[in-house]
Structure 1
Amino acid sequence: MTVMDTPRTGARGSDFAKLSRRIAQAGLLDKRPGYYAVRIGLVAGLFAGSWAVFAAIGDSWWQLPIAALLAVAFAQVTLLAHDLAHGQISRSRRTSRIAGLVAGNLAVGLSYGWWMDKHTRHHANPNHEDHDPDVSPDILVWSEKQAGHSRGIARFIGRRQAFLFFPLLTLEGINLKVSSFRALRRPSLKGRGLEGALLSAHVLAYLGAVFLVLPLPKALLFLVVHQACYGVYLGCTFAPNHKGMPVLTAEDELDYLRRQVLTSRNVRGGRLINTALGGLNFQIEHHLFPNMPTANLRKAQPIVREYCESLGVAYVECGLIESWRQALRHLHEVGRPLREVRT
């Protein structure tokens, strides 16, 4: 499937407005304070409980499973920060920002302001090779055009990037922290002083706790396991959403509805998948209505799917393992030109 196989804009420019009215009439854009109160309580309990168990166990190799458990807690806090950034939890921007700084900067060491800016640009142009920061050619290449222009480490890794994808995810947690501190140099980042203070407080508290409880060898291994599991968890949460879906270029002229639906993929699953992925398995609905509370995405799905089918717009969904397979296959295919180059 290619983007060019789908209808263009024009008379269909009001398609999203019609869908939006249906969604609003169903009350699916209304806030869900009760749901988020329970979810925040559970995630906060998991986060605090993981650290409490860490402190109680002390100097022991049993800390390695706790490192994995803490990675799950960090990922769930990150998913809550994601919902805060979209205004899903509170209508107040000030409240969302304060809570986002606590969850992102202080709790997990992720710059809320930097990530919010990056993610907003992603939502505006999902899977666009020129405008979406999530498919910019950094370490990996996401299109044959990017492969052709790649240099250095991206060119080297691009040849076997499908096989290296999961190993590279083990570094994603560190990459997010490094990117967060780098963002502090940008004058455009709002409240750089506060963001920097909270990020520094996180690093000092995090490393201080680990090295206070564990001797050096165990502490270092704990950090490796924790950050690796955290990075893989986040990667496995976000990768199924768009990787392997059509990559847009400047030649693709699509309206809002088609731009969001055709570049997104839903992941089938029950309550476990919904919880593990923070509701992002309903990626199509989330991209169409970013401020919709996570709990309402499942209810919106049949409305959106039926509407897309009535328009002849492809609505893609598959299982979690299949979504990873499609993403890896795409990475392998776009890296083909690099493997065919004679060296």
Structure 2
Amino acid sequence: MEFGTTSRTSGKPGPRRERSPGGSDYAVLSRQVQEAGLLRRRPVRGVVLLVVTAAMLAGSWWLFVAVGDSWWQLAVALPMAFAFTQCGFRGHEAGHRQTFHSKRLNNAAGLVFGNLFVGLGFGWWMNKHNRHHAHPNQVGRDPDIESGALVFDGDDAPGRTGAGAFVTRHQAGLFFPMLLLEGWNLHVASVRALRSRHTGAPAPAAVEALLLLVHAAAYFGALALVLSPLKALVFVLVQQGLFGLYLGASFAPNHKGMEMLSRDERLDFLRSQVLTSRNVRGGPATDFLLGGLNHQIEHHLFPSMPTSALPRAKPLVRAHCGDLGLPYTETGLIDSYRQALGHLHAAGAPLRAGG
């Protein structure tokens, strides 16, 4: 595809996609990154981050107990949802082997911060997320853009009927409200995945199931001991809703609204990752709030690179893309949401056009 052609879903001019012989463009960049020492794991920093995150979670539960049977618990739901999402970020880093040299230690961290602390199946997530990294924004290959509650490929919209059609027509406006259900969706998917285990799972299904059960027992047990039934119900709805909203809003800017590839389209590794990914501008505060996901281009090119090294890799990656004439997309957080919602709105256009 040359300049001036049309992208599959956005209707915007598509970028140049010539292959480079043998993938040498990526090899040059990889060599620069390795020589800069950016792929070196920093286990001490990783342990400190794990401890800080666990302390945030423990602090939110301490606050929960201290407030007691009060409607002020709805305010406690906010820091607890924040801590849950930060635990998810730690699981993400462990899943990419960013934290420790040992695969076993990384798996243990992922199981603790995923299954035990949050109730999110680490093995299910790893399988799904690895497929996403292998085929980002590729129709029929990337599980993150499969049609479900939302439609990301406009070609799938005409087949929707009933409530599904209504959601698709209005999915841009419904996107953030629907994220309030994402926490529950992740819990359900984690349990369902235990029925069919994939090769290379980080732990036996029985181990993952036990950790999920311990989490559920501790979570709902604490609610039952501290809160009245009505307050407990409202607290769960608010805390899990905010968890899903924060987690979903952290991942949404990364690829939504970027170029989508057809199932049979083949690009070299560098271009398939860069053209489908978007960075979000910001400093250390943004890095912390988004778990480093705002450096999505660098993360996709070097998944095992520690999150703390991603900002230092950015100048190398951006310069290399500039030398190749390859678009390097970076924008503000609000604009990233605007682009993502614009894509969802465009994907639902066939149903709106049909009345």
Instruction: Establish whether TM, by shorter chain, passes 0.5.
Output: yes
Amino acid at match of 1:179: A
Deviations 1:48-67 (A, max 9, x none): 01101111111111111111
Deviations 1:205-263 (A, max 9, x none): 10110121000111111101101100000011000000000111134321100000000
Picking from 120, 127, 134, the partner of 1:110 is 120
Query: SS where residue 7 of structure 1 aligns?
Result: coil
Q: CA deviation at 1:152?
A: 5.1
Whether 2:236 is the aligned partner of 1:226: answer: no
Partner residue, 1:212? 225
Q: Report what 1:82 is aligned to.
A: 92
Indicate the residue corresponding to 2:349 in structure 1. Answer: 336
1:202 aligns with 2:215: yes
TM-aligned CA deviation for residue 154 of structure 1: 3.4
1:157 to 167, 170, 173: 167
The letter for the 2-side match of 1:33 is: P
Q: What CA distance in whole angstroms lies between the structure 2 residues aligned with 1:324 and 1:111?
A: 27
Q: 1:297 to 1:161 in 2, by over 3 A?
A: same
Cα distance in structure 1, aligned partners of 2:23 and 2:158: 34
Structure 2 counterpart of 1:2, one-letter code? S
Give SS of 1:246's match: coil
The structure richer in helix per residue is 1
> 1:338 is matched by which residue type in structure 2?
L
Q: For residue 244 of structure 1, what is the aligned residue in structure 2?
A: 257
CA distance in 2, matches of 1:29, 1:220: 45
Written as runs of structure 1 = structure 2, the 5 A alignment for 1:281-300 is 281-300=294-313
Q: Deviations over 1:298-335 (max 9, x none)?
A: 00000000000100110000010110111001100110
Q: Summarize the alignment of residues 256-335 of structure 1 with structure 2, pairs less than 5 Å apart.
A: 256-335=269-348
8 Å CA contact 2:46, 2:100 repeated in 1 = no
SS at match of 2:225: helix
Q: How far apart are residue 150 of structure 1 and its match? A: 3.6
Moved more, 164-173 or 194-203: 194-203
Deviations 1:124-171 (A, max 9, x none): 000111100000001100011122344554333110000000010000
Assess, with a 3 A threshold, how the Cα gap between structure 1 residues 152 and 25 changes in structure 2: closer, same or farther: farther
Q: Match of 2:318, as an amino acid?
A: R
CA contact 2:43–2:101 (8 Å) conserved in 1: no
Residue type of the alignment partner of 1:308 = C
* Matching of residue 42 in structure 1 with residue 73 in structure 2: no
Worse-matched range after superposition: 318-327 or 151-160: 151-160
Give deviations 1:278-310, integer Å, cap 9, x for gaps.
Answer: 111000000000000000000000000000010
Give the AA of the match of 2:68: G
Partners of 1:101 and 1:16 in 2: how far apart? 32
The corresponding residue for 2:144 is 134
TM-score, normalised with respect to structure 2: 0.93
1:266 and 1:19 map into 2 onto residues whose CA distance is: 18
Q: Percent identity?
A: 51
Moved more, 38-47 or 297-306: 38-47
Distance 2:51 2:263 in 1: 44
SS in 1 for 2:253: helix
- Which region of structure 1 is more displaced relative to structure 2, 332-341 or 12-21? 12-21
Q: Secondary structure at the match of 1:175?
A: helix
3-state secondary structure, aligned to 1:104: helix
**Distance (Å, rounded) in 1 between the aligned partners of 2:182 and 2:262:** 26
Instruction: Select which of 167, 174, 193 maps to 2:206.
Output: 193
How far apart, in 2, do the equivalents of 1:14 and 1:147 lie?
A: 39
Tell me, in whole angstroms, the C-alpha distance in 1 between the residues paired with 2:247 and 2:66.
Answer: 27
Q: Is contact 1:8-1:253 (8 Å) kept?
A: no
Q: Is the 8 A contact 1:59 1:213 kept in 2?
A: yes
Work out the number of aligned pairs and report it.
342
Is 1:26–2:36 an aligned residue pair?
Answer: yes
Which amino acid in the other structure matches residue 174 of structure 2? L
Post-superposition offset of 1:90: 1.0
**CA distance in structure 2 between the aligned counterparts of 1:130 and 1:62, rounded to whole angstroms:** 46
SS in 2 for 1:240: coil
Give the unaligned 5+ runs of structure 2: 1-5, 9-13
Distance in 1, Cα, partners of 2:51 & 2:94: 15
Q: Report what 1:56 is aligned to.
A: 66
Q: Which runs of 5+ in 1 are unaligned?
A: none
Task: Rate the CA distance shift 1:240–1:7 in 2: closer, same or farther, 3 A.
Answer: same
Provide the rounded CA distance (Å) in 2 between the counterparts of 1:17 and 1:186.
37
Q: Are residues 187 and 77 of structure 1, via their aligned partners in 2, closer, same or farther at CA, if it must alter by over 3 Å?
A: closer
**C-alpha distance in structure 1 between counterparts of 2:271 and 2:121, whole Å:** 31
Taking the aligned partners of 2:244 and 2:205, their CA distance within structure 1 comes to 25
